[in-house]
Homo-oligomer: A and B are copies of this chain.
Amino acid sequence: MAGFDKRVADYAEALAGLKDGMSIVAGGFGLCGIPENLIARIHAMGVKGLTVISNNCGIDDFGLGILLKDRQIKKMIASYVGENAEFERQLLSGELDVELTPQGTLAEKIRAGGAGIPAFYTATGYGTPVGEGKEVREFNGRPHILEQSITADFAIVKGWKADWYGNVIYRHTAQNFNPAAATAGRITVVEVEELVPPGELDPDHIHTPSIYVDRVIQSRFEKRIERRTTRSA
């Protein structure tokens, strides 16, 4: 790699260094904006004992669900189990260590991790199981709990367009957790639909500045839709 050219040749290089027992923070909400090819590669690598931080865990046969099914994940930090039957089963049976985290707290923990804020107070979760064992402190006459931030060995991110330097923009609601995840990886890998030369993206409208990104790769995406809902004309 010369200078700021962060393009990698293939997915093997994109995820080089990922090992058993590591932590991975992933962008995406449901199946929207998930780094599906990076996940597929992690599946193919067969690494095990992973701690995965992601709002959801895909579905049974797509996204992070495929890692779950093959028991590559030891621990999940997520806000929503939803209709992922295998996730719920492994959680209820105790096979999987799960830290259910309110969605906004999860987003803020990841953002804070990337921003060098080790901990913050929030009213979210006070007086609920989420607050158990956490320090409670009053601010403005209201109890808040102390939440610690999250960083990970790898961040896997799905962008729309990136330049070779790793400046990234996201498309529509595929943005979601991706920009926060991009800041919180020791090594941040971004896969995009289109890789462009530096200078093609408007500097005023970069969602993820290049400084957070270590590797970028262009690929094709299935972009599966979880709940196709339409109106008639």
Contact = CB atoms under 8 A, between A and B. Distances in A.
A103 interface: no
A120 B119 contact: yes
Contact of A139 (B119, B123, B172, B175): B119
Interface string A173-189: 00100000000000000
A123 B119 CA distance: 11
A170 B170 CA distance: 19
A37 B153 CA distance: 48
A172 B205 CA distance: 9
A110 to B, nearest CB: 14
Contacts of A204: 169-172, 175
Interface in A158-210: 169-172, 175, 203-205
Contact of A121 (B120, B137, B175, B203): B120
Most buried by B among A112, A120, A139: A120
A115 interface: yes
A116 interface: yes
A144 interface: yes
A90 interface: no
Interface in A81-123: 108, 112, 115-123
A117 to B, nearest CB: 5
Interface string A20-36: 00000000000000000
A229 interface: no
Nearest to A169: B204
3 interchain residue pairs of minimum CB distance: A118-B139, A120-B120, A205-B205
10 contacts: A108-B115, A116-B122, A117-B120, A117-B122, A118-B121, A119-B137, A120-B120, A120-B121, A175-B204, A205-B205
Interface of A: 108, 112, 115-123, 137, 139-140, 144, 148, 169-172, 175, 203-205
